[in-house]
Amino acid sequence: MVDVQNDFCPGGALAVPQGDEIVTLVNQLAEAFRNVVFTQDWHPVGHLSFASAHAGRSPYDTIAMPYGPQVLWPDHCVQGTPGAAFHSGLQIPHAGLILRKGLDRTIDSYSAFYENDRTTATGLTGYLRERGITRVFLAGLALDFCVRYSAEDAVREGFAVVVIEDACRGIDVQGSIAATLSSLAALRVAAIGAAEIAVTRAA
């Protein structure tokens, strides 16, 4: 479950349109799985992905960083703030891991597996492999950033990957949703609806 946090829901600092609509569905989906992992954006004050950290820059500008292009965001999911908290409607008490990302002030971190340099690992791969998990199902926010990067990296790590499309919402910056769908199709990531979960798990 990727980043279902207050700042990514309506009224938050970086709201994904209709982001809160997935909460009930995510709760229902989680009941079908023994192993559930939450990711949580957890930025320090002044993170370099924030437009406010760059004089003369505005949110959604793109700048060059040592690890590649970086979209600049409004300040969001700052450590310990209400915006960084999970949506209050989440009810998944059996989640086994909360993986916090974006802690390094100098690099953004979309993926559950790697920071945006695509080389600094979060440790999730080892966590999953120690439990014998070979397939990853993804839901959450936002489809075209943190869900996308997580799916791409999961494929790279050798996992079978399924994105539950109706349990995601996108923000769509400069055509990012279309780019995401193209990338995931090229990687042969399965895209399904939540209603298919029981069938998929039985297969």
- In order of 22, 51, 76, 123, 144, the CA distances from 170 in angstroms are 11, 20, 16, 26, 6
Selected catalytic residue, list 9, 77, 146, 168: 146
- Burial tier of 55 (Cβ tally within 10 Å: 0-12, 13-18, 19+): exposed
Selected catalytic residue, list 41, 75, 101, 108: 101
Question: Is there a catalytic annotation at residue 3?
Answer: yes
CB 143 within 8 A of CB 177: yes
Selected catalytic residue, list 3, 41, 108, 153: 3
The amino acid that residue 131 corresponds to is R
Alpha carbon distance 170, 11 (integer Å):
16
User: What are the residue numbers of the active site?
Assistant: 3, 101, 146
